[in-house]
Structure formats: C-alpha cells, structure tokens
Amino acid sequence: MNKKSLNNVWVSGKKVLVRVDYNVPMDKEGNITDDTRIRATIPTLEFLLSKNAAVIIASHLGRPKGKVAPEFSLKPAAQRLSQLLFGREVLFANDSVGPEANKMAAALQPGQLLMLENLRFNPKEEKNDPEFAKHLAGLAEILVNDAFGVSHRAHASVHGITKYIPAVSGFLMDKELMHLGQAVSDPVRPFVAIIGGAKVSDKIGVIENLLNKVDTLIIGGGMANTFLAAQGYQTGKSLVEEDKLPLAKELMVAAKEKGVALLLPEDVVVADKFAADAEFKAVPVAQIPAEWMALDIGPATVKNYAAALQGAKTVVWNGPMGVFEFDAFAAGTEAVAQAVAASGAQSIVGGGDSVAALEKLKLAGKISHISTGGGASLEFLEGKELPGVAALADK
Ligand code: ADP
Ligand code: MG
C-alpha cells in the first residue's frame, strides 16, 4: 500500500479523530445485539491510548436521514465500548459539530476518549459538505479512518475532512485492504471466486473484473438461473433476469476467451413455492418443472464445486448459493463453506447476506477474512477506487 497507516505517523499527545463504523444492530429496547464492529476497532483505539493520544470517535448509525432521532443515538455504543475497554470512561458529546462537541474536544486530555453523537443526524455528513467537514476537522489534528464499510462513499467524515487534516488508515482498515488487495492484485494461485446471491445485475462489475484475475469462477444462487436460461434451459418460476440473458452469454464467452473455468449448477433444489415450508426436491437443470423454482444448488453441483475448491490457494466469495434464510435451501451454502474451509486457501468473504449466512451456519470462524464492509468490499472487488481510501495521505 502506498497510503499512510497509523503505524506511519506520530500520535503521542495529539488529538486524533477516529472514524469508525459502529453501525451495529440493536433490538427495540436499544440493546446492541451484535458488537462485532465495536470489538473490531479495539486494536486501533488501544494503540492510540497507549500512545497517550486524545481520542475522539465519530460514527454513523442507521438511517436517521439527516435529523436528530433518539433511536439512532450512539450512546449505547459508547457504553459498550467502555465495557470492552474494561470500564475506561468514554465521554459523550450530544452533537458532532456543534458547541458541545467543540467544547468537549477542546478540553479532552491525552489518554481520554470522547465519542461524538451520530454523524448522520446532520444531512451535511452524507452530502460531503465542506463546511461540515471543516468543523469536524477542527476537532482534531489527524484523522484515522477505520471505517472500511463507509469508505466507498464520499462522505464528509471520510472524504471532505481530508482537505483540512491528514488522514491515515487504522488497523481494521489495514486488515481489509491487505486481504482484499492481496487477493485482487497478487493472488496466490489457484485463485477461485464464488459468486452467488440474488441477482446477476448486482454483481456484473464484480464478475467482469474477477474474470481477468481468477482461474475458476463458480456461480450459484439466484443469479445462476439467468446463466442457465441463457444456456437454453427451462427455468420454470425461478428468479431469472430476462434482460440480462445477453450479458450472461457474453460473460460465458469472455470466460472461455480468458481461459477461466466458469462453473454453473448441473442440478438444483427446486421448490413449489417461495416459502420455508415449501415442498422441495433436487433435479438436474434440464428437468426443472414449469411450476417450480430453483432455490439452491443441488448435491451433484455441491460435489463438483467442492472438487473445484480443492487445492485452491485463494478464494474470494460473495453471495450465498441459495435461499439460506430457509433451512431447506441452506445446504448448498453450507457445503460450499465447508469446502472453502477444507481447502485451506486464504479465504475472503464479503457481502452482507454472505456474512449473515456464514454466521447463521456457524461457519464464520472457518474463513480467513470476513470483510466488515458489504458494499465497500463489492466495489473493491469491482476494481473501483474507494473515495475514503483514495483520500488517505500518501506514503
Ligand atoms: P450479499 O449481500 O452477500 O452480496 P446478495 O444480496 O447478492 O448477497 O444476495 C443474497 C440473497 O440472495 C439472499 O437473501 C438469498 O435468499 C438470495 N438468493 C440466493 N439464492 C437464491 C435463489 N436461487 N433464488 C432467489 N433468491 C436467492
Ligand atoms: Mg445483500
């Protein structure tokens, strides 16, 4: 990486603004139901505290649409962070750029922590407003960006702010960029990508970019149906994007030209309706009943995909193989996850639903790197430059 990291700068005694992604799930009572994202930033925060920096934490939470909304307050995150830091005090400012934030930031001492209220209570954050960015920048001397999950957006706290104070990556960001960057720019081969999920239209950029890099491309999930339809199979009531049939054909031709093995299902699990209690059976792709729909890859396909994963050294996976939300259609995703784990490859999974699937199946621990950024990891895999990463100071 030619960008500066927290390792490359002097932070002792300085005021440091850390942009984190504490967009954590909460129940109706405001209890945090999964604190993974808070835990993931502890190495950066502990490093800064050990260097005696004065640490100001900024994040967004939910979609308050630019208005103050108590249900999206970051206060519970501040409390949880305090617990995770063994009771260390986390001061809290009830705004992000107003008089309270200014005053508390100005008074903050080395070794102290201050969390600002939700950045998105102000519409100027998402608009990358220069005035808002300047105010935020005024709170600190340096920005540490540890929010990979928002760095595909040019928002004030990751982009505009870097006009006024220098920005470096935090340790969580470093981890993301290292794993994703290594896979995309210098993969150990064989390199296998697994792309699934609902629609091919969501993943066109990823498939096109990865076709230039991988040895094998495995397709599953709803999007596989569009490829099957493009091959002339009858797909019944399966999810098919008719307008993407020509694209699917083009991608198959491109794979052949580039010498990439493109693997498609040879059998699928079909259901008589889209429901958890649907009737279901495995059939060859040439025998999908007209009134049924394909909701998972079948057992023969699983075998084939597992064989293709054997010996892989790098695996990038985005998108579940089936409708894993219904237990009857989670087997394909589960088996592929087991095969990824068994391969011993450096494995990287990105995508909100893909991660949710692995967690539901209790297989997340078998993956080398689970990206904390759904949309950001997709854009990275598309080969796009992320605005929040581009804005980091050069080495
Ligand atoms: P990610 O969030 O990991 O990028 P996507 O959002 O692209 O993944 O896709 C996830 C969704 O795709 C899941 O909700 C899953 O139910 C759905 N899906 C997977 N296979 C099928 C299928 N055969 N038919 C319809 N939907 C599917
Ligand atoms: Mg999704």
Q: Could you tell me if residue 393 is inside a domain?
A: no
List, for residues 97-152, the tens digit of each pLDDT value: 999 999 999 999 999 999 999 999 999 999 999 999 999 999 999 999 999 999 99
Are residues 112 and 57 in contact, defined by beta-carbon separation less than 8 angstroms?
A: no
Cα(394) to centroid of ligand 2, in Å? Answer: 33
Which pLDDT value is given to residue 372? 86
Q: Using a 6 Å cutoff on CB, does residue 202 contact ligand 1?
A: yes
- Mean pLDDT across the stretch 341-351? 94
Q: Could you tell me if residue 388 is inside a domain?
A: no
| Residue 166 and residue 189 in one domain | no
**Active-site residue flag, 395:** no
Cα(378) to centroid of ligand 2, in Å? Answer: 10
List, for residues 44-93, the tens digit of each pLDDT value: 999 999 999 999 999 999 999 999 999 999 999 999 999 999 999 999 99
| Residue 64 and residue 197 in one domain | no
Which pLDDT value is given to residue 194? 97
Q: How big is the chain by its Cα radius of gyration, in Å? A: 23
Q: Which helix (H) or strand (E) holds 269?
A: strand 267-271
- The position carrying tokens 């080969």 is 383
Looking at the predicted structure, is the pLDDT value of residue 1 above 80? no
Ligand nearest to the CA of 374: 1
The protein residue with its alpha carbon nearest to ligand 1, atom 21, reads 222
Q: Using a 6 Å cutoff on CB, does residue 325 contact ligand 1?
A: yes
Cα(357) to centroid of ligand 1, in Å? Answer: 10
- Mean pLDDT across the stretch 368-384? 92
Looking at the predicted structure, is the pLDDT value of residue 30 above 90? no
| Residue 129 and residue 216 in one domain | no
Are residues 200 and 241 in contact, defined by beta-carbon separation less than 8 angstroms?
A: yes
Domain harbouring 331, CATH code: 3.40.50.1260
Cα(356) to centroid of ligand 2, in Å? Answer: 9
List, for residues 304-343, the tens digit of each pLDDT value: 999 999 999 999 999 999 999 999 999 999 999 999 999 9
List, for residues 238-291, the tens digit of each pLDDT value: 999 999 999 999 999 999 999 999 999 999 999 999 999 999 999 999 999 999
| Boundary of a domain, candidates 152, 172, 192 | 172
| Residue 206 and residue 164 in one domain | no
Considering 88, 352, 360, 383, which one is annotated as catalytic?
352
Q: Which residue pairs from 46-50 have beta carbons closer than 8 angstroms and sit at least 24 positions apart in sequence? A: 46/85, 47/6, 47/171, 48/6, 48/11, 48/16, 48/18, 48/144, 49/88, 49/111, 49/113
| Residue 168 and residue 193 in one domain | no
Q: How far apart are CA 347 and CA 100, in angstroms?
A: 44
Q: Could you tell me if residue 1 is inside a domain?
A: no
Considering 3, 19, 37, 175, which one is annotated as catalytic?
37
Q: Could you tell me if residue 11 is inside a domain?
A: yes
Q: Could you tell me if residue 56 is inside a domain?
A: yes
**Active-site residue flag, 199:** yes
Atom nearest to 220 CA in ligand 1: 20
Which pLDDT value is given to residue 200? 93
Considering 66, 98, 205, 375, which one is annotated as catalytic?
375
Please report which confidence band the pLDDT of residue 29 belongs to, taking 50, 70 and 90 as the band edges. Answer: confident
| Residue 292 and residue 352 in one domain | yes
Which pLDDT value is given to residue 60? 98
Q: Could you tell me if residue 387 is inside a domain?
A: no
β-pair partners for 283: 268
| Residue 94 and residue 37 in one domain | yes
| Residue 65 and residue 213 in one domain | no
**Active-site residue flag, 350:** no
The protein residue with its alpha carbon nearest to ligand 1, atom 16, reads 323
| Residue 17 and residue 148 in one domain | yes
Q: How far is it between the farthest Cα atoms of the chain?
A: 71
Pocket probe mutation, ligand 1, options 199, 228, 353, 372, max atoms within 8 Å of Cβ: 353
Q: Which helix (H) or strand (E) holds 83?
A: helix 75-84
| Residue 199 and residue 306 in one domain | yes
Ligand nearest to the CA of 225: 1
| Residue 87 and residue 221 in one domain | no
What is the three-class DSSP state of 16? strand
| Boundary of a domain, candidates 139, 172, 205 | 172
| Boundary of a domain, candidates 141, 172, 203 | 172
Q: Using a 6 Å cutoff on CB, does residue 239 contact ligand 1?
A: yes
| Residue of higher predicted confidence among 162 and 350 | 162
Q: How far apart are CA 227 and CA 245, in angstroms?
A: 7
Cα(353) to centroid of ligand 2, in Å? Answer: 5
The one-letter amino acid code at 280 reads F
**Active-site residue flag, 375:** yes
Domain count, the chain: 2
- The position carrying tokens 């087991």 is 338
Which pLDDT value is given to residue 256? 98
Q: Could you tell me if residue 390 is inside a domain?
A: no
Q: How far apart are CA 346 and CA 64, in angstroms?
A: 38
- Which residues are in the CB-under-5-Å shell of ion ligand 2? 352-353
DSSP notation for 158-206: TTGGGGTS-EEE-HHHHHHHHHHHHHHHSPPSSEEEEE-SS-GGGTHHH
Which pLDDT value is given to residue 189? 97
In residues, how long is the chain?
A: 395
Q: Could you tell me if residue 323 is inside a domain?
A: yes
Structural domain that includes position 18: 6-172
109: Cα within 13 Å, side-chain hemisphere: 1
Q: 128 in the Ramachandran plot: left (φ > 0), alpha (ψ -120 to 50) or beta? A: left
| Residue 70 and residue 191 in one domain | no
Looking at the predicted structure, is the pLDDT value of residue 172 above 90? yes
Cα(149) to centroid of ligand 2, in Å? Answer: 14
The protein residue with its alpha carbon nearest to ligand 1, atom 4, reads 351
Pocket probe mutation, ligand 1, options 226, 285, 323, max atoms within 8 Å of Cβ: 323
